[in-house]
Amino acid sequence: MDKVILQKAEDYVLHLFNTRAISNNVYHSADHTCEVVEACEIIGTASDLSDDDLEMVMLAAWFHDVGYLDIIKGHEEVSAKYAEEFFAEENYPTEKIKIIKNCILATKVPQTPNTLLEQVICDADLAHIGKKSFKKRNDLLRQEFEFHYGRELTDYEFLKTTIDFLNKHKFFTEYAIKKLEEQKQKNLSKLQKQLRKIVGKDDDDTGRDVKIKKSKNDTAGRGVETMFRNVMRTHVEFSSMADSKAHIMITVNTLILTGLIAFLIRKLDSNPHLQIPTAILTIVSLVSLILAVLATRPKVNSGTFTKEDILTKRANLLFFGNFSNMPLDDFMWGMKEMIANKDYLYDSMIKDYYYLGQVIGQKYKRLRICYNIFMFGLIISIIAYAISIVLAPQPTSLGPLFE
C-alpha cells in the first residue's frame, strides 16, 4: 500500500474534523472515522484484498463521513465529492478515484454494496453493532439524534428505532458474519428485553404513556388491515364484474360476426343495396369485440426481482406477476424482508391497491366505449338496413337471404 497517500488522507480528514466539526456530532466524529478505517483494514485483510484494493477501501473509509460536516441527509454524495477533489489534486489514478467514490456511496442506508470492496466498507462502517461496546456507541448516536431533532427522545422511541434497524441490517463479508453477527444478535436481544420492560411498566407516567400509545397503534393497525382487506375484496369483485360484462360482449359480437359470414355476406351479390349496412354492422361488431378482448387481456410482467429491488423497496411481492419466475428461496427471502419492515409491507399493500384500481379503471373505460359503440352502432345498422330496403330499386324479400 502507498503509505504516503494514506497519511495525507488521514491528515486532511482529521484537520477537517478538528477545524469544522460540530461539537454535538458526538457519533459521526473523527473517532468513528478512525474506527472505521481500522475495521476496514481488519475486514479487508481477512477478505484477502490485494494491497491496492485495501488501500482504496481504507482511503474511502477516511472520507466516508466528511460530508457530515456540511449536511446530514445525503452526506455520502458530499463525502464522495470531497474525496474526488482531494485525490484529483494528488494526481491519484482516475479509475481508483471512481472505485473510492462508489465505496463511499455504498455506505448509504439501506446499504447496497455491489463489490467486495463496497461490502468491506459497509461492514466496517457498522461494525460497532456487532461488538460489546455497542451500547456506548449507540448512546452517542442517541445524543446526536436528539441534537438534530431538537428534543429528547423517549426510551421507547429510540429503542424501537434501533431494534427496527438491527432487524433489517445484515453483514455482507464472510469475516463480519462469523465474527460480528453473533454479538449483534446478543445486542439486539438486550434491546428487545429493555423494550419489553418499558412497555410493561405501569407505575409511572412514561410507562402508561407507552402502553396507551402501543394500544392505540395496535387498534389503528387492525383498522388499517381491515380496511385493506375490505377494499381489496371490493376491487376484486369489481374486476370480476368487468370480466363478465366483457364476456357478454365477446359472445354477442362473435355470434353476430358468425351470422354475417355464414348467412348474409354470401347473399350480397344478389342484394347489393345491403352492402353498406352490412359493412357498418360488421365494423361495429368487430370493434366491439376487439375492445372487449382488450378489457380482459392480461398484462404479463417479467416475473423477476433482484435483491436490490427488495432493499430499495421497489418490488411489490404481493402481486404474483412480480415473482412468478423467481426461485422459491429468493421469494421467501424477499417476503421475510418485507414482513420485517412494516412500512415496506404497508407500502406494498398501498401499491397493490393503487395498481389494481388502475387496471380496473382501464377495464371499465374500454367496456364503456365498447358498449357505446355496440349500442349506437347497432341502432345505426338497423336504420341503415331499413333505409336500404325501403329505397331499393326493386322490392326485395328478406327470405332468400337466409335460405
Using the 3D structure, point to which of 200, 215, 244 is the last residue of a domain.
200
Instruction: Tell me whether residue 211 is in a domain.
Output: no
- The reply to whether 279 and 377 lie within a common domain is yes
Residue whose entry in the numeric block shows the C-alpha cell 488522507: 9
Which pLDDT score is estimated for 393? 63
Within a domain: 10: yes
Please tell me the total count of domains within the chain.
Answer: 2
Q: What residues contact residue 267 under an 8 Å CB cut-off, 6+ apart?
A: 274, 400, 401
Is-contact 195 160, C-beta < 8 A? yes
pLDDT given at position 183: 92
In a domain, 218, yes or no: no
Q: Do residues 176 and 231 share a domain?
A: no
Same-domain check for residues 66 and 174: yes
- Residue that terminates a domain, selected from 182, 200, 218: 200
To which residue does cell 456540511 refer? 70
Residues 48 and 112 in one domain: yes
**11-23 residue pLDDT tens:** 999 998 888 877 7
Closest CA to 396 of 246, 247, 267, 298: 267
Per-residue model confidence as pLDDT tens for the chain (403 residues)? 688 999 999 999 999 888 887 777 888 888 999 999 999 999 999 999 999 999 999 999 999 989 888 888 888 999 999 999 999 999 999 999 999 999 999 999 888 899 999 999 999 999 999 999 899 988 888 888 888 777 787 888 889 889 999 998 999 999 999 999 999 999 999 999 888 887 765 444 444 444 444 444 554 556 677 777 777 777 778 888 888 888 888 898 888 888 877 777 667 777 777 788 888 888 988 998 898 888 887 776 676 777 777 777 777 777 777 777 788 888 888 888 777 777 777 788 888 778 888 888 888 888 899 899 989 988 998 898 888 888 876 554 444 444 4
CA distances from 13 to 2, 48, 73, 79, 100 (A): 17, 27, 20, 11, 15
Written in H, E and C, the secondary structure of 302-330 is: CCCCCHHHHHCCCCCCCCHHHCCCCCHHH
Residue 209, in any domain of the structure:
no
Residues 6+ apart with CB under 8 A from 155: 194, 198, 206
Place of cell 439524534: 145
Domain that holds residue 258: 226-402
Give the per-residue pLDDT at 200.
64
30 inside domain? yes
Q: In this structure, are 133 and 273 located in the same domain? A: no
215 lies in some domain: no
* CATH code assigned at 92: 1.10.3210.10
165, 200, 235: which is the final residue of a domain?
200
pLDDT at site 300: 66
- Looking at the structure, do residues 31 and 119 belong to the same domain, yes or no? yes
C-alpha 118: how far from chain center: 22
Query: 328 and 238 in one domain?
Result: yes
125 alpha carbon, distance to own chain's centre: 25
Sign of CA dihedral 281, 284, 287, 290: negative
Residue 213 lies in a domain: no
The per-residue pLDDT for 117 is: 94
Same domain (yes/no): 185, 263: no
Whether residues 379 and 237 share a domain: the answer is yes
Q: Tell me the three cell numbers of residue 220.
A: 389503528
* 71 lies in the same domain as 177: yes
- pTM, two decimal places: 0.51
My answer on whether 143 and 268 are in the same domain is no
Pair (386, 333) in one structural domain: yes
Integer Cα distance of 128 and 137 in angstroms: 7
pLDDT in tens, 242-265: 888 888 888 988 888 888 777 776
210 inside domain: no
Q: What pLDDT, on a 0 to 100 scale, did the predictor assign at position 401?
A: 44
